[in-house]
Amino acid sequence: MNLDLPEPCPELPDTVSLATFVEQRLHATLDSFELATARLYGVTVVDSTAFAQDDDASFRLSFLAEHPDVYELLETSSSSLGRMFDAAAVVTTGWAAPLGENGEVEGAPSQHAKRRRVRLTVVVSNQGVASVIRFADQPDDIITDPGLATGSLADAINGYWAQGPAFIESS
C-alpha cells in the first residue's frame, strides 16, 4: 500500500448525485452562461461516503480540454484522457426554448421568442449518464435528468464513454 496515493474508490455515488455535485462545484467557479467553448473535465472520486456530507474533498475535477464545438471536443485525441478517470463531465452553454405541441422545438432555440440561456453539465461513468441543467434567469434552480435524454448529444456522450479507457502506447 502506498500511503502517498489515495485509496481507489470502491463504489461511485449514483450518477445523478455525482452529476449534481459536480455541477454545483462548477457553478461556484463558472460565472457565465455564455462559455465560448464546451469543456471536458475528468472526475476522480476520492471518498464516495463524503458526498452525503457535501464535502469538497470527496472528489477532484481535472480540466482536460475545450473546443468551440461539443461534438468535436468529444472526438479530439486529448478528450480520450477523460476515460481514464472515474467519470467525465462535459459542460456547454447555449439557448433553450420550450417544446411545441409535437414535442420538439419549433425553429432554432436562439431565435425563439421564449428562449433562455442554459448551462448543461453531463456526467458519464460506467454507471451511466446523468445531466444537470441550470438557466441564467433562475440560477438557483437546477433540473436533473437520470440519463433519459435522447438526441445527438446523448448519443455522442454515450459513444464517447463506450470507447473504453485511453491507453498510451510506449514506443
Residue 27 placed within a domain: no
Render pLDDT for 129-140 as a digit per residue (tens, 0 to 9): 999 999 999 999
Residue 38 placed within a domain: yes
pLDDT band at 112 (very low <50, low <70, confident <90, very high): confident
pLDDT band at 70 (very low <50, low <70, confident <90, very high): very high
The pLDDT value given to residue 121: 95
109 in Cβ contact with 95 (< 8 Å): yes
Render pLDDT for 114-164 as a digit per residue (tens, 0 to 9): 889 999 999 999 889 999 999 999 999 999 999 888 888 889 998 898 876
Q: Which of 70, 157, 88 is nearest to 125 (CA)?
A: 88
Residue 1 placed within a domain: no
Residue 147 placed within a domain: yes
Residues spanned by the domain of 59? 32-100+109-162
92 in Cβ contact with 98 (< 8 Å): no
Q: What is the mean pLDDT of residues 87-108?
A: 84
pLDDT of residue 167 exceeding 60? no
Q: What is the mean pLDDT of residues 53-67?
A: 79
pLDDT of residue 170 exceeding 60? no
Q: Which of 95, 34, 90, 41 is nearest to 63 (CA)?
A: 41
The pLDDT value given to residue 100: 77
The pLDDT value given to residue 47: 67
Residue 58 placed within a domain: yes
Residue 22 placed within a domain: no
How many CB atoms neighbour CB 46 within 10 A?
Answer: 15
- Say how many domains are in the chain: 1
Render pLDDT for 22-54 as a digit per residue (tens, 0 to 9): 999 999 888 789 999 999 999 988 866 665 555
Residue 87 placed within a domain: yes
Residue 20 placed within a domain: no
